[in-house]
Structures are given as C-alpha cells and as structure tokens.
Structure 1
Amino acid sequence: MYSENPFDAEFGGIPELYLDFNNDAVKYAKRAHRYKKHPTYSLFITGVRGSGKTVFMNKVGKELNKYDDTIVVTLHNTEDLFRIMYIKLAPMLNKLKKWSSSVSISLPFVSINFAEANEKHDEIYYKTEITKILKLLKQANMRVAFCIDEVSNTPAIQKLAEEFNNWSLSELQVSVIMNGLLKEVAELSSSHNLTFLVRADRFHVNKLQKLSIAQAYIKVFDITSDQAEEMAEMTQGYAYAFQLIGDLMYEELSTGKNFEDSWNYTKLAFKDTLFNQAYDVISHELTEIDFQFLYEMSKNNNISAIIEKMGKSKQYVNIYRTKLIKYDLIKTIIRGKLGFTLPLFREFIQAKYDELNWG
C-alpha cells in the first residue's frame, strides 16, 4: 500500500490520482494558447456536481501555466469579479520589464495600496484599468487566461461577456476558462448578449471508466482485482465517489484492519458522507416536481408507471424526464425504462422525500 494517502475527497483541488482526462486538459490548454490564430478563446466545462468540473478547469490552468508567455488568473463568480480581476492582474505589471524591456509602464494605478483602496473605485474604473493592463501584456507578447469557477447567469458574468466581446474586437490575448452546471449553461445560452458562450468550446466531464478506477485501487492498496472491481462498482464512475471511497479505505487499512472490515466500514461512511456533502447540495437545486419524478422513478423505473403515478400528461412528465437527463441525474437504459446515474442516488431520493414529508 502507498505510504501516503493519494486520495483527496475535498472539492476543487487537483488530486494526486487524476484519471482519464489528462489528455483532454492538455488539448484544451493548447487550444487556449493558439493566440496567433485566435486572440480570444473561451471554454465552458460542464458536469453534474462532484463530477470534477473545477478539478478539470484547474488542470487546464496548470497546463497553461507551463507556457512562459501565459499568465493564469483564478477567479470565482462573485459580485466584485472585476475588482478581484484587477487586484490579481495589476501586480503582473511589476514583472513586465523582466518579460519585455521594450514595454513602457507609466500608469498611475501601479502604486495603489490594494488593502486600503480597492473598495474606492467603481466598476467602470476597474474595467478600464484591466483593459489597459491587457494591452500592455499584449505588447509584451503575454497571454492571460482567466479561470472562473461556478459560472452562472449573474450580472457579473453578463458584464464579463460584454467585456470579452470588447477584448475580442481589440484582439487582446485573453482566454476565459469557465465551469458550471448544465442548467446554468442553459440559462446563460438563452441570454441574448452572451454570444461568447455560444462560440465557446464545450467539455462535458463524463464518468470515469470503472477499469481505470479499479486499476488505481489495485495500485494504491495492493488488493485483488475482484476487491478492486467491487470498490469501483460502488463508485458508478462518479469522480467524487472514487476519491471518497479511496480516502476512507486508505484511512481504515492504514490502521491494520483487513480488507473486509475496512470495506464494511467504508461503505457505511461513504453513504453518510456522500449524502451530506454532495447529494444534499444537489437536492437544493431541484424543484418539488423534480423530486416527485425521481421518487416515483425510485419505486418503478418504467416511464409509463411514472406518468401514471404523477397523474400528469405524457408531454408534461417528459419535460422533467428530458430535464433530469440533461442534468446528468438519470439516463435511458432501454426504451421506456430509466436509471439513476449516481451511486446510491435512489436511496437518497427515497430518504429525502420521506424527510420532506411529501409522501
């Protein structure tokens, strides 16, 4: 067994064991770096919560950091997006002369004390100064990649779209790498002024391959293929489940327990943590009708039975079926039958439905 725990059940960071999507991260980093052909570039990463969207975005950012002529700036979708963007960009001007002695820096904002003054300016000021910085960086043949986490249809993102269009018209060397839930993409795509999203590359974070998961478990724990396959099956290819099960098993096995005892405990702890840390958050994004559909499906996965139990028309129920498939929570197994995509999600829905007293 590994001497140190390689699993990371926290959201966002790049875990030591990162499966299946390394080549994709390299590919999109290369696309973002092709600034001579495409000065501005945008990528939207989607997937169900816990699928590894932020991890993949950070991986693309890490690949971009390998280019000497690229600055990666990580941001969150907040109201003061442009202020934070400015605060992170401005210090780069102090390094410009190291990159290019031909660039003349004579802008007054370089000496601003951010700790005291960054609340004293309006948004227009920050937008203007950011554009100045981007123009200077372009003179130095430097490219900027903004990595923005949890993008949604907020005023800040709408304004960012407008700025991105302006940067594109000015042929500034800018990439915007974003991640968000599929439903947020749908809302953003319907906004009339977000044409940059329509043109953006899309990458959907799919499930991990169970073979890759099993091989990783064998390598870390030195267990049999049957044991590893049993663990991999429990994950259902869900990235968060892969890391969580690995983390729990490592902690148990490291105490000297045998596989069977460790696995029995891990299965119990996995369910509890999965429900509280991931599925509760997902449930807050669902409507009561979504829950009703999922609950009826948990009892009978035949679409005709779901329609009958909900007491609605086929067209009405199919709207929610299509929506939940799009959100990656359910899938079509065979004609007329549906399945859950996430591990133990059936049990969670039944427990949550009873908890909310909708039954």
Structure 2
Amino acid sequence: MNPFNPNFGKVPQLFLDRNQIVNEYISELDSNLDSPLQTSVIYGVRGSGKTSLLTDISNQLRQKGHWIVIDLTTNQDLIPTLTYNLYQEATSKFEQLIGKLKSIKVSGVEFQLKNDVPQSIQYQMMLKQILNQLAEKQIKVLVTLDEVKATKEVREFASLYQLLIRENLPIALIMTGLPENISELQNNSVLTFLLRSNRIELSPLSHEAVIKAFAEKFNEGNRQVANPILHRLTLLTRGYAYAFQLLGYLVWKNSAAGDVINDQLIDRLLPEYQLALSRNAYTKIYQDLSYQDREFVRAMANSTDDKVKMKYIGEQMEKPSNYIANYRQRLLDSQLIRVAGYGYVSFTLPLFKDFVQWYAQYDDAGF
C-alpha cells in the first residue's frame, strides 16, 4: 500500500512535523478549556496541510466521551447549522441529556421558531440552554471552521461566539485559513478578538524530517535509494507538505519492491509532478494574487538566480523601493516568498518559479 497520500483534506499516514502540534493542542484544551488555545487559527499557504490538521484534531477529540465536535463550512448559515447539529449530536450521544429543552421543536431538519421573536435571539437562547446543560455534565464543544473568510455569516457567528465564551460556556473554536484571509479577518472591527487568538502557523516541513521519512518508507517498501537521491527528492519538495506527499506517491507508484530509485526515474516523473503541482495548487494560488503581486513574482521569476535582489525586482517593475517593500511584505505574509539574506528574497514553493514563467505567457496573451 502506498504510504504517501496527496489527497487534500485527508489525514495522511505520514504527518510530518504536525503530530506534535495536534498532541499539544488536544492535551492543553482538554485539560483547560480556558487556555489561550480556546480560540485558535491554523494558517498557511494552500497545500500546507491546514485541513488535514483540522481533521486530525476533530477525529481525535470525537473519540473522547466528554467532547462534541461540530464541523462547519463558511458556505453554510453558521448559527442555525451549529444550533441544529449541536442539538442532534447531544440528543443522539447522550440520550435525554437535553430532552427537557421544550422550547426546541425539531421537524425533519428544521426548528419551529416563533414569528414574534427575532431568529438570532432564539438561536442564541437555544445554544445557551444546550451549552449550560452540557456544562452540568462536564461535556465540552469544539467548533471547527475550515477556510474561513470575512463573510457576513462569519461576522454574525463570531459575535455570538464571543458572547458564549464571555459567559464561560464550554465551547471552543478552531479555524483554518489562508494567511491573507486571516489578516482580513483580524482587521475587521467585529473580529478583532482574533488578534488575541492562538495562531498555529504551518511553516515548511523540516529538511531533516522529509529526508528521514523518504528513507524510512522507501526502505520499508524494499526500494533502494542512495543518499544523493534522497537529498534530491527532499530539495524537490522544499518542505511543502503537498509536494512531499505528491512526490513520494509518484515515486512509490512508479517503482516496485527491489527497484533502485535513481535520477532517471525522478527525471521521468518530473513532468507529472509539475503538472499536478500546477493543476492542484499553483494555478489557484497565482490566480488569487493581485495584479501587483503577480508583477512582483514575475519579476522574481525573470531572474536567473534563486535568491533575487530586491533592487533587481524594483528595476524590473520600474517602481521605487518603498512601493516594492509593500508587496514584498504581502508576499512574505502569504508565505509565497521568504527572506534569503539581507536585500534578497526567494520562492518558498518548489518549482514555483518555473510555473510563474509558464503561466505568464498566458497572462500576456489574455487567457
């Protein structure tokens, strides 16, 4: 069985540099709901493993008898969905635990709400009743929200959530999002409480962890791989979580027990590797950039060097240093580039320079 899994959102068998994050989060939140982890934000570039991390946390907490986990997505009407799902989970898992809540009438999948009372107030009352009774039984609730954005529904939900935690009700929240979306959230006047939330940054996987995982798994699969090849494979991932799973998957799939993994095999797989990176991650990443951000990365890609001088980028864009510095910071925050020495930057993602050069042709042609 292939030990590598490049599918988005799945918890991979090889969860490098992430298990410690999951274990520490669950241990602290489980022992003390009032800890700084009560409201947490996982952020990182697309493909860094945010949803996989969220899924792992959800799955592990669900196995504990004193937790209820409610998974939400931003395309839902969050407050009614949370209220209904929490009611269903509690009544199902704990039988008559909240059976005395006579104000809630469930018909199919809808609540019977009173016409003379605003729905927002009724849902708020319902949630408080449910959470208060769960608290009596020492049962806690974790709400997960994947790929959060500053939408009207999120703002309404955040306002209610703040009210619930101010009343010391047993509820916690963990969200995932792209760095630029998290910044937008924290700059919203309704969502400023997120500035005080615990932030979990998914930085690149360590070189040591990647090379060790490749060596161990290929050895377990009776595939022979020399140290220079392990080093090349590791460099081809640049610590990008999706790239690690994808490249490992392709190498395993295209080799068999007893085979030698060599440069010829890697060379043969490179086009498929690049195509999958482009199709499944890079195209969306690039398309979400502003026009100025694209100009910056295109200027970087024009350089023959991996470490690009800021002065060179300014010359390519024909813009002053203060203008360039603004977009440099934006791209650093988005984790698409990194500081590569004083006055230098480089791309964080593997083969992203090649992708930008390729995609720029279609940009210029108006596609």
Same fold (TM over 0.5): yes
Contact 1:96 1:140 in 2 (8 A): no
Contact 2:211 2:231 in 1 (8 A): yes
Q: Distance in 2 between matches of 1:39 and 1:139?
A: 23
Cα distance change of structure 1 residues 181 and 108 upon mapping to structure 2, 3 Å threshold: same
Residue identity matched to 2:228:
D
Q: 1:259 aligns with which of 261, 283, 290?
A: 261
Residue identity matched to 1:354:
Q
Matched, 1:290 2:297: no
Cα distance change of structure 1 residues 183 and 86 upon mapping to structure 2, 3 Å threshold: same
Contact 1:298 1:350 in 2 (8 A): yes
Contact 1:39 1:174 in 2 (8 A): no
Q: Distance in 2 between matches of 1:119 and 1:237?
A: 51
Q: Distance in 2 between matches of 1:40 and 1:302?
A: 39
Quote the residue 1:308 is aligned against: 315
Task: Report deviation, 1:229.
Answer: 2.0
Deviation track 1:209-252 (CA, whole Å, cap 9, x = no partner) reads: 12211221122222333322221110000000000011111211
Q: 2:102 aligns with which of 90, 101, 107?
A: 107
Cα distance change of structure 1 residues 37 and 330 upon mapping to structure 2, 3 Å threshold: closer
Cα distance change of structure 1 residues 308 and 144 upon mapping to structure 2, 3 Å threshold: same
- Listed as ranges, the matches of 1:57-136 within 5 Å are 57-95=54-92, 97=94, 105-109=100-104, 111-114=106-109, 117=110, 122=119, 124-136=121-133
Q: Distance in 1 between matches of 2:79 and 2:27?
A: 26
Cα distance change of structure 1 residues 124 and 348 upon mapping to structure 2, 3 Å threshold: farther
Q: Distance in 2 between matches of 1:70 and 1:107?
A: 24
Contact 1:40 1:167 in 2 (8 A): no
Contact 2:29 2:38 in 1 (8 A): yes
Structure 1 vs Structure 2 CA RMSD: 2.5
Matched, 1:7 2:14: no
Task: Report deviation, 1:67.
Answer: 3.1
Deviation track 1:249-296 (CA, whole Å, cap 9, x = no partner) reads: 121114986523532332221101001110011012101111111111
Secondary structure at the residue paired with 1:193?
A: helix
Q: Distance in 2 between matches of 1:226 and 1:246?
A: 16
Q: Distance in 2 between matches of 1:40 and 1:155?
A: 25
Q: Distance in 1 between matches of 2:36 and 2:323?
A: 45
Quote the residue 1:138 is aligned against: 135
Task: Report deviation, 1:338.
Answer: 1.2
Matched, 1:349 2:356: yes
Q: Distance in 1 between matches of 2:355 and 2:250?
A: 20
Aligned length in residues: 352
- Listed as ranges, the matches of 1:149-164 within 5 Å are 149-164=146-161
Quote the residue 1:203 is aligned against: 200
Quote the residue 2:271 is aligned against: 268
Structure 1 gaps, min length 5: none
Task: Report deviation, 1:69.
Answer: 1.1
Q: 1:28 aligns with which of 25, 28, 47?
A: 25
Q: Distance in 2 between matches of 1:241 and 1:200?
A: 29
Q: Distance in 2 between matches of 1:195 and 1:330?
A: 27
Secondary structure at the residue paired with 1:12?
A: coil
Q: Distance in 1 between matches of 2:56 and 2:92?
A: 24
Q: Distance in 1 between matches of 2:9 and 2:77?
A: 21
Contact 1:12 1:54 in 2 (8 A): yes
**Identical aligned residues as a percent:** 27
Q: Distance in 1 between matches of 2:191 and 2:243?
A: 34
- Greater shift, 200-209 or 120-129, is seen at 120-129
- Greater shift, 89-98 or 201-210, is seen at 89-98
Quote the residue 2:247 is aligned against: 245
Residue identity matched to 1:143:
K
- Runs of 4+ with deviation above 6 angstroms: 118-121
Task: Report deviation, 1:108.
Answer: 4.7
Q: Distance in 1 between matches of 2:24 and 2:343?
A: 38
Q: Distance in 1 between matches of 2:63 and 2:20?
A: 15
TM-score for the superposition, normalised by structure 1: 0.90
Deviation track 1:171-217 (CA, whole Å, cap 9, x = no partner) reads: 10000000101111111111112133122101100111122112211
Structure 2 gaps, min length 5: 220-224
Q: Distance in 2 between matches of 1:120 and 1:350?
A: 56
Contact 2:37 2:198 in 1 (8 A): no
- Greater shift, 21-30 or 246-255, is seen at 246-255
Residue identity matched to 1:155:
K
Quote the residue 1:328 is aligned against: 335
